[in-house]
Amino acid sequence: MSLEDLSLEQRDELAILMRTLAENPETRKDILRLTKKVKPNMTIPELEIEESTNKALSKAEERVMQLESRLRDKEANEDLERRRQAVIKKGLASEDNIEEIEALPITKLLQSIGNG
């Protein structure tokens, strides 16, 4: 596309429009993204900083989610172990048969629905 076919007045109007769009906070990023799309090799620090920041935040969020998941698993295992020890302490089970006793409700449930 060439601007040579346009009058100076038309060029000025386009320049003013582009400037208005680029300076408006609501349209600035869209203009920058479109510019980058048309000219991919153009350096646009504002976009590059945003992308870099978003990637770092995304990685940090992912790590936090993984840590939270591990913490939940650890807490669940600790809770299970506390319950096991309470049952053993009451003399209702021993270290040797606690897992078998825990599996009984599941076995009975499976039998009751016809999968056992």
**Which one-letter DSSP state was computed for residue 2?**
-
* Mean residue pLDDT across the chain: 90
pLDDT in tens, 20-63: 999 999 999 999 999 999 999 999 999 999 999 999 999 999 99
What 3-state DSSP class applies to 3? coil
The answer to whether 42 and 35 are in contact (CB under 8 A) is yes
> Model pTM?
0.55
Residue where the block lists tokens 């172990």 = 81
For the chain, domain boundaries: 8-42, 43-116
Residue where the block lists tokens 């400037």 = 19
Q: How far is CA 64 from its chain centroid?
A: 10
Q: How confident is the model at residue 105 (pLDDT cuts 50, 70, 90)?
A: confident
